[in-house]
Chains A and B, each alone.
Chain A
């Protein structure tokens, strides 16, 4: 394990913003800390970077205790949310700041800076000042400035938050490519689940100063373990019920099935989670009777919003591929829905 947090806590006065938290980051991994604001994800990043001191616990890097090590002595570099470029320095001077203050100079360092500017595509802008750059270009300078220091870990604090949607998607791809190319550990903080899914090797979902779940994007998406993850991560149909027996649920929408219920006990209050794309129109081994509230044509997809016929409070949401548009039901229709019990998940309520 490269970077390791052991029972790390953070308190501001009596308020514990981070409950004892343990997390390992493997070398070369792209790890994303995902959560809404106030979830503690940025605090974790600042603890890793050395900008905030832990109230308890240990931070280790390659087995060495770095809990009390100052930020300028850690082999990590941070890409800040507002880029934090030095306004009085050119792109080249910004990129060369790390080597300059670390008293690393010579032709090798000069070449490293050149190469890095090349990698991030800024060679032609090397003499510009930050005020003369666009948001995406500033982002690249911030990244280049970190890469030049050849850190073991690069910490990124919502670096794409200020960019528009198109640029953001380009930068996501770009960051991922860079990360593969320089084979450095990236710890990335975001509140954007799309960003997390597309870029990460592993995602750490956080809420209220706690880790909710750690796993690959697929794990998090298809096998949420907590109610929070099931609701936060992507669109999901959540149907409240009680586990009646292994694989069987008693819900207000009827008796439903789920292939794997080993995580919960019989008699427990649970939520059945079915992704909108797993829900289909038609009959099957399990059937939910539902009434269409809204059919929204969205080009490639038509989105249906429904509620269970037996309980209006159970909202459902499903996607029809474009080709089926002709047969799409209209509001007020009573339809049958089905799903494969293997695609459903239960979490405790």
Chain B
């Protein structure tokens, strides 16, 4: 057996598992999205009807655009909060730094559902947020503005996905050699110039990775909108869920899932492209 053929065999052997677990389900989804359903029966004829009815119907397409916008907001807010947090942790010395980092990523070890219920109770009428605002005299009576709407989805997603943003940013910051900061100082730069011209550009790949995590995770999340979204916090994830779980229109659900998948893929490719342009 030639070296080349042996390598191919090894490659195929390794490729079986991802092919079975990742490629095959996606392919079956793509195929399913090209079928149509009539009275809960899937008719196996190739058609693009699902896609045309998605883009033709504003209820679906508008919800989709709204969801993408929401996820971009989640991403933006998470980065705006996550970057300073990561930077602050990075500034600490010795063991305190890793203790703080551990605290920041601790929520990752907790159940997603537990976190959702915790946030729900915090954002509710008698929740921590309302109590605090009442106590501070900012509100006169408890507000319903924090739960069962789009804003609640935003807040909850930001809180839940924050560790995914903090971690890669922190890692990027930590990879910056100390000598670069000293060199910048040595050449006469103040701390703002050093941050703007050295730290920020060099931590950008990690920041993009963190932003991507937030965006993609938020895009696929249909439980959070379900739990805290109420009627106005309607996202495409919930629509897809209802196509599978309630309407039993699997081909249409698969078509929307495919569109969501492609959207996430575009996000990943854009992020990959912008990271590859960085010289670090």
Whether B280 lies near A101 (C-beta < 8 A) is: no
B173 to A: closest C-beta gap in Å: 14
**Interface 0/1 of B150-189, CB less than 8 Å to A:** 0000000000000000000000000001011011111111
Which listed segment binds B: A71-79, A171-179, A295-303? A71-79
Q: Does A221 contact B (CB under 8 A)?
A: no
The listed residue (A70, A84, A129) touching B183 by CB distance below 8 A is A84
CA of A86 to CA of B278 in the docked complex: distance in angstroms?
Answer: 12
Q: Which of A113-170 contact B (CB under 8 A)?
A: 129, 131, 145-146, 149
**Interface 0/1 of A45-56, CB less than 8 Å to B:** 000010100000
A77 / chain B contacts, CB cutoff of 8 Å: 186-187
Q: Which of B93-151 contact A (CB under 8 A)?
A: none
Whether B190 lies near A80 (C-beta < 8 A) is: no
B280 / chain A contacts, CB cutoff of 8 Å: 87-88
Whether A129 lies near B189 (C-beta < 8 A) is: no
Query: With A81-B179, A88-B201, A101-B188 given, can you name 18 additional A-B contacts, CB distance below 8 Å?
Result: A49-B186, A72-B185, A77-B187, A78-B183, A80-B182, A80-B183, A82-B177, A84-B177, A86-B180, A87-B280, A97-B184, A97-B187, A98-B188, A100-B197, A101-B197, A102-B188, A131-B279, A149-B188
Q: Does B202 contact A (CB under 8 A)?
A: yes
Q: Which of B171-217 contact A (CB under 8 A)?
A: 177, 179-180, 182-190, 193, 197-198, 201-202
CA of A316 to CA of B180 in the docked complex: distance in angstroms?
Answer: 48
Whether B179 lies near A82 (C-beta < 8 A) is: yes
Number of interface residues of B (CB under 8 A): 20
B198 / chain A contacts, CB cutoff of 8 Å: 86
B278 to A: closest C-beta gap in Å: 7
The listed residue (A88, A100, A101, A146) touching B190 by CB distance below 8 A is A101
| 17 sample A-B contacts, Cβ–Cβ < 8 Å, listed by A number | A71-B186, A72-B186, A72-B189, A76-B186, A80-B182, A81-B179, A84-B182, A86-B183, A86-B198, A88-B278, A88-B280, A97-B184, A101-B184, A101-B193, A101-B197, A129-B279, A131-B279
Name the CB-closest residue of A to B179: A84
Q: Interface centre among A51, A72, A77, A129, by most B CB within 10 Å?
A: A72
Name the CB-closest residue of A to B196: A101
Whether A145 lies near B201 (C-beta < 8 A) is: no
The listed residue (B185, B193, B278, B279) touching A71 by CB distance below 8 A is B185
Name the CB-closest residue of B to A97: B187
CA of A71 to CA of B188 in the docked complex: distance in angstroms?
Answer: 8
**Interface 0/1 of B259-280, CB less than 8 Å to A:** 0000000000000000000111
Q: Interface centre among A81, A82, A84, A131, by most B CB within 10 Å?
A: A84
A76 / chain B contacts, CB cutoff of 8 Å: 186
Name the CB-closest residue of B to A81: B179
B280 to A: closest C-beta gap in Å: 5
